Amino acid sequence: METRRRFVMIDAMNTPATSFRNAPAPRGLSRTVGDLLREWRQRRRMSQLVLATEAQISSRHLSFVESGRAVPSREMILRLAERLDVPLRARNALFVAAGYAPLFRERPLDDPQLGAARRAVELVLRAHEPFPALAVDRHWTMIAANGALAPLVAGAAPKLLEPPVNVLRLSLHPDGLANNIVNWFAWRAHVLQRVERQAQTSGDPVLEALVDELAAYPAPSGAEDAPEETGVPSDIVVPLRLRTPLGTLSFFSTTTVFGTPIDITLAELAIEAFFPSDEQTGEALRAYARGEASS
């Protein structure tokens, strides 16, 4: 019983995978801190005047920083990055471009200093049983999952379940869960919209490539017809309706993140918790959990 229900932690931090941090810069192109700040400002669709006002500096000084005529202090970089909602990993890139040492550390999740955070993740995942929940990094690589996830991924190709597991690839890949997702078109649209928005706000080329990959997957033959473009949603949330060994289950999900992280690993970690959207799903999962307990 304990083996089947045990919390699973995957050391994705040490598995070889493409990352934004390790992505090579284009040859012959060296971006200054001013270039990077301008890119983030434009990505947030802010004018120099608006950003300067929010950062309580003159627009002239901001213009000098972006053009390279002035080098910002560490404090100025932090102030601008806060107003631009720049991720911690990208803030380190700003510091390096300005000639400073990186400020934010990136520890593996099994680092002793992250012990309290790791236990918090375990607690949330375990407490969510008998309903499924999993922790992912910024590229949707699964870091951990609780025991209730097993019946949802039954039937997926073993290669897609080998670490590092990308949960979005697993869900939409023809050899993954695609054939089991009843409302594949609606779920696919929801996933693509979410990842596209994440890629746009983060500027992460790995996420941009993931969007292209997911968008290229063909529709499974058993999926419901594509919904009409009425512009009016029929539900309050987009459910995930999934055929499983327990029957057809229906879920909605919530996302939990750490509130004030200053470590890159924690800042990029999110917990996706799935809740039953009907009583049949809830009872099926509670019966599954009782079956594990009795075995």
Identify the pLDDT of residue 79: 97
Q: What are the angstrom distances between the C-alpha of 287 and each of 133, 282, 293?
A: 17, 9, 10
CA distance 19 to 49: 33
**Which pLDDT tens digit goes with each residue over 140-196?**
999 999 999 999 999 899 999 999 999 999 999 999 999 999 999 999 999 999 999
Classified as helix, coil or strand, 41 is helix
| Higher per-residue confidence, 215 vs 14 | 215
pLDDT above 90: percentage of residues in the chain? 80
For residues 54 and 291, give the distance between their C-alpha atoms in angstroms, rounded to a whole number.
Answer: 57
- DSSP states along 142-191: EEEE-GGGGGGSTTS-GGGGSSSPBHHHHHHSTTTTGGGBTTHHHHHHHH
Confidence band (pLDDT; 50, 70, 90) for 227? low
Which residues face 133 on adjacent strands? 273
Flag whether pLDDT at 8 surpasses 50: no
Statement: residue 226 has pLDDT above 80 = no
For 245-269, the pLDDT digits (tens) are 999 999 999 999 999 899 999 999 9
Q: Which residues contact 244 (CB under 8 A, 6 or more apart)?
A: 151, 152, 154, 180
* pLDDT above 80: residue 11: no
pLDDT band at 224; cut points 50, 70, 90: low
pLDDT class of 29 with cuts at 50, 70, 90:
low
Instruction: Tell me which residue has tokens 């560490």.
Output: 74
**pLDDT-derived band at 291, boundaries 50, 70, 90:** confident
Give me the chain's average pLDDT, please: 87
Q: What is the mean pLDDT of residues 120-142?
A: 97
> Which pTM does this prediction carry?
0.82
Mean pLDDT value across residues 102-126: 96
Rounded Cα gap, residues 117 and 134, in angstroms? 15
